[in-house]
A and B are shown apart, each in its own frame.
Chain A
Amino acid sequence: MVEDKPKLVVVGNGMASVRFLEELMARAHGYDITVVGQEPEPAYNRVLLSSCLAGDIEKEDMQLRGREWYHAQKIDLKTGETVTSFDPEIRTLTLASGASLPYDQLVIATGSRPICLPLPGAELEGVVTFRDLKDLAVLHTVKAGAPVVVIGGGLLGLEAAAGLAGHGADVTVVHLMDKLMERQLDAPAAKLLKTSLEEKNINVELLAQSDYLRAAPGTDKVEALVLKDGRALPAALVIMAVGIQPNCDLAKAAGLTVDRGIEVNDQMQTSMPGIYAVGECAQHRGTCYGLVEPAYQQVKVLAAHLTNKAASYGGTYLATNLKVNSVSVFSAGQFEETAQTEAVSYTDPKAGTYRKLLIEREALVGAVLIGDTQDGIWYRNLIQSGEKISSMRTDLIFGETLANLKGDRGEQNA
């Protein structure tokens, strides 16, 4: 009877993949499951790469589920395997080894890959990205005090920079835009973040256009990043962290509808029946998420859907939570004022604290926090719920504890 079980294949073994499996295992599913992962190890917590680099945690701490778990769950885990193509007509995958793998339901969780800038010299030794354990191993070779350049002042770049600084490197962040994390922060927040990073000995070069990577004379090893303005920033290592790109070549080749990512509906279904996409490779309602939390919400919906439970994913308000050498940054929802939004802000320059909330039609639509981010999740939830905040508007900026405190806010005079 075992042969009669529908075959479920998951392409990709990253954070979305393993969480999907956990969600599915928690249900009565009845599938015969195979997972194909490209990396040699079972899925690990990629978010912790930077902490591991900084020496805050050990490599083992990053592991999510060991092989024995897959075994116990009767999941066929194939690591170090690459799917080269699949044919939706005959519902069959082809692996790099040449083997084919039939499926009834296919889940694509191929994630994304770092964007490599096509700079002259990008191929030099010592020019890397920061995405996986392989990259980590390279970065671990950096000696204390060695100059390192991180290209990209967004979330990825700053995480890498933090990890490297923690590891002891002399880090310079090179950013094309006039402010850090321009996709999450408004100008005052970005400025405060820059100041805080600089106080922690991370150099920041804004409006810095990379020109090319220079090799040490007579070697193919990188020596410096040369900027368009002619300045050469010495670099024993250059990390490109300018963004990620969804891995959707496979899907595209198979004829699925692909924009930036693989287009999915609220049940994570792609344009073809029986094929689903979750995580960073998926594009839902026009958005490709680069964070783990939307992926977790997506796989929960998918697990329900695949076990015949009605479920629907409505999208996730972007929330960015970053901790760079004890400088905390949080951003959720909108961060720039528009004609429709009302801003409430709080600044304590000496304490390095900045908070800005954006309110639209009496509901919270955005929050940017620097320094003290303990209320980030509460704000994010308020943004997501869309509930009216008028009654606590005066206290909102001071956080959940105060806003939920009973008692009179005002005082009657005389």
Chain B
Amino acid sequence: MPDGSGLPEKSVKTACPYCGVGCGVRMAMQSDMSWKANGDENHPSNFGRLCSKGSALGETLDLKGRLLDPVLDGKNVEWPVALDAAADRLSAIRKEHGPDAIAVYLSGQLLTEDYYVANKFMKGFVGSANVDTNSRLCMSSSVAGHKKAFGADTVPGAYEDLDRADLVILTGSNAAWCHPVLFQRIQKARAERGMRLVVIDPRETETSKEADLHLPIAPGKDTLLFSALLKALSQSGALDQQYVETHTLGYATALARAVELAPSMDRVCEETRLRLPDVKTFIRWFIETEKVVTCYSQGVNQSAQGTDKVNAILNCHLATNRIGREGMGPFSLTGQPNAMGGREVGGLANQLAAHMEFQPESVDRVRRFWNAPHIATTPGLKAIDLFDAIDRGEIKALWVMGTNPAVSLPDADRVRRAMKKLELLIVSENMASTDSMDNAHIRLPAAAWGEKAGTVTNSERRISRQRSFLSLPGRVKPDWWAVSQVAQRMGYAEAFSYASPAEIFREHAELSGFENAGSRDFDISAYASCSDQAYEALDPFQWPAPGGLIRTHGECSTQTHRFFAEGKFYTPSGKANFIAPARPELSVDLSVTYPLLLNTGRIRDQWHTMTRSGKSPRLGRHKEEPFLDINTADARKFHLTQGELATVESPHGQAVLRVNLTDAQTPGDVFAPIHWTGQNASAGRIGALLASHVDPFSGQPEAKAAPVSVKPFQAAFYGFVMSTASLDMTNCAYWAKVQLQDTIGYRFALTSYNGKGANKWMSDLLGVSGTELIQSTDKSNGVFRAAHLIDDRLQAVAYLSPQNDLPSWSWLETLFAKDKLEVLDRRYILAGRSIDGAQDPGPTVCACYGVGRNTLIDAICKKGLITTQALGEQLKAGTNCGSCLPELRSLIGGHDKTAKAKAS
């Protein structure tokens, strides 16, 4: 808060709540008391850079839609009432059905301290390891691959390696959109040092467009490519025979399998759909380049053979000893801000705590440390199995924290149905309404980013503080407090008497070093006795940080730590394992009924289910609706038209998505984003389309290759509404919602308007009588439009047409910002465009400065601004976070006449 000088000068260093890059953020209070996010120049993960999402954090802090009170059986109650009910009901279920009738489902968005307490509560005191997390959907194949090869879930390298490498391979990663700041770092190194970039991805993405070599691999065939690579490495000088012999096991078997899988280059090309010269170039570059980093993300992990893919990659780095050395190594890019922290505390069903599993000595060690006689002794159920057990009625009670399984799990409709069977559903949430809360018996208002305090770990093992800069609104409490309170009420007062996150962190750090002595990779016991002040001031640090190294604030090590350059793996033998992967095959083949393969992923400006990023109008305008990317030829084949709607079906469910024709999509493959939920679209939950086929080692479900069918959605009418008030859209066969500057925008489609006249239908939708509306009606053409004003101020507009030819939102948005409409504004509202010649800026490309596609095309074509620098100088586009630079380049490429002429 202001210090009384009248000048707001509060600035708080924290960490971004979005992806696994883990950028440092400086939140600064502005003179109007709003908050602005800036990159923290001193944070070693981003050095001041932020992406479009991070830059817009200040726009996401309002309390709209927040859960602010505990709710018990549909009624707002005081905390003690809710906590008593939770404790009593959990105890009763445990008493009647045993501890395994209880489960908790956690999230990579939780802070380490929250995670630690929840894990300790379940595994140590409830006595069940039914603790899983949405990281199962995100990173668990990397975890399994790491453990199989290294004996521990260890990320060997650091971001610095991306600065120092001579070749970076991104596989299954659209880093330009999903890890934008890291991608900028790669781009910087390329510009400065000529580093090469190879992108392996079935899709053409904003990442692949920037690459020196794009390998548009057939979905699921990564293992073949890396087997061909291993085979070639074995016959090249790049093989480090001595390292292999000294520090690894299983090389011969793995190589034999690689030879078997990749008998010839032709076979590899045929199966991977790749061109022979491209594969040869890739292999040659890898052999020639010692400093090579292979980054992999969800394209590798979210697969029924994800662990094998990870191991096929690790094999190549182990064979060449390109691991744990500067500028080299395999590198898992985590999706969530604290997936790593969750793994560290053991928040997965097959982990116990602090990188320990369920070996008797580990169980015994943790039992003694926690003083938990009833500690779980065997692994619990992984996410998919866990929800199956709920469906079967074996799990009676579920506590969900900070995640939305009814959207994000595969076969999501079934998950939703299964959750209705629970005797007790507790949901700890920021938001008052999510798809997973429909049937919640107890809703606990959880502190959100900016309100809660603790630590997170990013992809490079760097632990940073998330600090609070907002007071707790309503009755909101941090999750660690809520869990501790329930635990205390269940009789575990002593073990859960925490007063602060610092106290939890110290215990977590102490456990990491407890009877460790170098036997476990995760050790931060140097912080086991850090003071509250030191915790408050904690600078970002990379683990390991074993005890004995006295670390206090200001003296922490800045030296980069890497693993495995000299072997010392965490397997019983101390040697790494080469793994022979299975033949890559899709879990379900295409069929006549389901002839297309659905790939899924993130988009640049949204995060997960949009509860935070969806609040920012800037971010919303990049992609306003759930969409389907489909190749032009496929669209023709299945009668889909650009901008119209498609019904996408799988054996498990259905979605209705806006069609986007793009030759970035290979024929036969389609792509849909994961972000839409039942809260912001009628049928945008992509999880509903996915089967729950899981990886045999990690239990991670396949999310990148679901056979689907597509057909046109038979819309009788297309429409949109912009309204200052939230509207009930359930009468629309299709709808999707997006937050705009002063209004909420809804796009919708109808199959009919239920027999009523369209004018009546519209006035019902807007909740205003027809005589209060400005209306235009072209009944024969089915074109209906309406606007609602109160005292010359615009409240809502609605447009309906049988054609998908609705006006742009851009000008209308400016009308909602006016206190009083001018005569000409009023006259043309229903036309949806102004006559003053102001150009429609089009969909947002640069989210930071709100620069639209049409504005940019105009600048390229008419003003001849044909470099990103020129566009930046004139329009500021791309000059802040840089996330849109690839899109700017492709716009220049597509619209500059001289560039076109050169290309042809």
* A393 and B827 alpha carbons, distance in the complex (Å): 17
Tell me the smallest distance from the CB of A195 to a CB of chain B, in Å. 12
Asked if A398 and B828 sit within 8 Å, CB to CB, the answer is yes
Which positions 763-796 of chain B face chain A at CB distance < 8 Å? 771-772, 774-781, 783, 789
Q: Does A273 contact B (CB under 8 A)?
A: no
Tell me the smallest distance from the CB of A337 to a CB of chain B, in Å. 10
Q: Does A414 contact B (CB under 8 A)?
A: yes
A345 proximity list for chain B (CB < 8 A): 775-778
Please encode chain A, from 340 to 382, with 1 for each CB lying within 8 Å of some chain B CB and 0 for all others.
Answer: 0011111111110000000100000000000010000000000
**With A346-B830, A395-B831, A398-B831: A413-B777 Cβ-Cβ less than 8 Å:** no
Q: Which single residue of chain A is at the shortest CB-CB distance from B853? A: A412
A405 proximity list for chain B (CB < 8 A): 833, 835, 837
Q: Does A97 contact B (CB under 8 A)?
A: no
**With A342-B778, A414-B658: A402-B828 Cβ-Cβ less than 8 Å:** yes
Asked if A394 and B783 sit within 8 Å, CB to CB, the answer is yes
Chain A interfacial residues counted at CB < 8 A: 29
Asked if B775 and A402 sit within 8 Å, CB to CB, the answer is no
Q: Does A397 contact B (CB under 8 A)?
A: yes
Q: Does B873 contact A (CB under 8 A)?
A: no
Asked if B805 and A347 sit within 8 Å, CB to CB, the answer is no
* A399 and B805 alpha carbons, distance in the complex (Å): 19
Asked if B660 and A411 sit within 8 Å, CB to CB, the answer is no
Q: Which single residue of chain B is at the shortest CB-CB distance from A411? A: B808
**With A410-B805, A411-B806: A348-B826 Cβ-Cβ less than 8 Å:** yes
Which positions 498-546 of chain B face chain A at CB distance < 8 Å? none
* A414 and B629 alpha carbons, distance in the complex (Å): 10
Q: Does B804 contact A (CB under 8 A)?
A: yes
Q: Which single residue of chain B is at the shortest CB-CB distance from A390? A: B781
Tell me the smallest distance from the CB of B33 to a CB of chain A, in Å. 36
Asked if A402 and B778 sit within 8 Å, CB to CB, the answer is no
Q: Does A118 contact B (CB under 8 A)?
A: no
Asked if A394 and B805 sit within 8 Å, CB to CB, the answer is yes
B837 proximity list for chain A (CB < 8 A): 405
Q: Does A230 contact B (CB under 8 A)?
A: no
Asked if B642 and A412 sit within 8 Å, CB to CB, the answer is yes
A393 proximity list for chain B (CB < 8 A): 778, 781
Tell me the smallest distance from the CB of A407 to a CB of chain B, in Å. 7
Asked if B776 and A372 sit within 8 Å, CB to CB, the answer is no
Q: Does A71 contact B (CB under 8 A)?
A: no
Asked if B826 and A346 sit within 8 Å, CB to CB, the answer is no
Asked if B827 and A398 sit within 8 Å, CB to CB, the answer is yes
* A410 and B783 alpha carbons, distance in the complex (Å): 13
Asked if A342 and B779 sit within 8 Å, CB to CB, the answer is yes
Partner of A347, one of B774, B783, B808, B831: B774
Q: Does A309 contact B (CB under 8 A)?
A: no
* A155 and B776 alpha carbons, distance in the complex (Å): 27
Tell me the smallest distance from the CB of A211 to a CB of chain B, in Å. 36
A402 proximity list for chain B (CB < 8 A): 828, 831, 833, 835
Asked if A408 and B840 sit within 8 Å, CB to CB, the answer is yes
* A348 and B776 alpha carbons, distance in the complex (Å): 9
Q: Which single residue of chain B is at the shortest CB-CB distance from A372? A: B827
A343 proximity list for chain B (CB < 8 A): 777-780
Tell me the smallest distance from the CB of B349 to a CB of chain A, in Å. 38
Asked if A411 and B807 sit within 8 Å, CB to CB, the answer is yes
Of the listed stretches B52-60, B273-281, B321-329, B620-628, name the one at the interface; the rest are far from the partner chain.
B620-628
* A75 and B824 alpha carbons, distance in the complex (Å): 50
Q: Does B643 contact A (CB under 8 A)?
A: yes
Which positions 822-851 of chain B face chain A at CB distance < 8 Å? 826-828, 830-831, 833, 835, 837, 839-840, 842-843
B805 proximity list for chain A (CB < 8 A): 394, 409-410
Asked if A397 and B833 sit within 8 Å, CB to CB, the answer is no
Asked if A344 and B776 sit within 8 Å, CB to CB, the answer is yes
Q: Which single residue of chain A is at the shortest CB-CB distance from B657? A: A414
Tell me the smallest distance from the CB of B828 to a CB of chain A, in Å. 6
B660 proximity list for chain A (CB < 8 A): 413-414
A342 proximity list for chain B (CB < 8 A): 778-781
Q: Does A308 contact B (CB under 8 A)?
A: no
* A346 and B783 alpha carbons, distance in the complex (Å): 11
* A411 and B783 alpha carbons, distance in the complex (Å): 16
* A54 and B623 alpha carbons, distance in the complex (Å): 60
A372 proximity list for chain B (CB < 8 A): 827
B776 proximity list for chain A (CB < 8 A): 344-347, 397
A351 proximity list for chain B (CB < 8 A): 774, 826
Q: Does A401 contact B (CB under 8 A)?
A: yes
* A315 and B464 alpha carbons, distance in the complex (Å): 85
Q: Which single residue of chain A is at the shortest CB-CB distance from B785? A: A346
Asked if B777 and A412 sit within 8 Å, CB to CB, the answer is no
* A342 and B778 alpha carbons, distance in the complex (Å): 8
Give the one of A345, A393, A412 with max B CB within 10 A: A412
B806 proximity list for chain A (CB < 8 A): 410-411
* A414 and B827 alpha carbons, distance in the complex (Å): 29
Asked if B780 and A349 sit within 8 Å, CB to CB, the answer is no
Asked if B835 and A401 sit within 8 Å, CB to CB, the answer is yes
B840 proximity list for chain A (CB < 8 A): 407-408, 411
* A351 and B659 alpha carbons, distance in the complex (Å): 40
Tell me the smallest distance from the CB of A400 to a CB of chain B, in Å. 10
Q: Which single residue of chain B is at the shortest CB-CB distance from A346? A: B776
* A393 and B831 alpha carbons, distance in the complex (Å): 11
**With A343-B780, A397-B776: A413-B835 Cβ-Cβ less than 8 Å:** no
Please encode chain B, from 796 to 828, with 1 for each CB lying within 8 Å of some chain A CB and 0 for all others.
Answer: 000001001111110000000000000000111
Partner of A413, one of B643, B775, B781, B826: B643
A413 proximity list for chain B (CB < 8 A): 624-625, 627, 643, 658, 660, 747, 804
Partner of B807, one of A349, A397, A409: A409
Asked if A344 and B778 sit within 8 Å, CB to CB, the answer is yes
* A401 and B843 alpha carbons, distance in the complex (Å): 26
* A347 and B776 alpha carbons, distance in the complex (Å): 6
* A351 and B787 alpha carbons, distance in the complex (Å): 13
Known contacts A344-B783, A408-B840, A414-B623; 4 further A-B pairs (Cβ under 8 A): A345-B775, A394-B781, A402-B835, A407-B840
A residues contacting B by CB (< 8 A) are: 342-351, 359, 372, 393-395, 397-399, 401-402, 405, 407-414
5 contacts between A and B (CB under 8 A): A346-B777, A347-B775, A402-B831, A413-B627, A414-B625
Nearest 8 pairs between A and B by C-beta? Answer: A342-B780, A410-B805, A411-B808, A398-B831, A414-B660, A348-B774, A344-B778, A346-B776
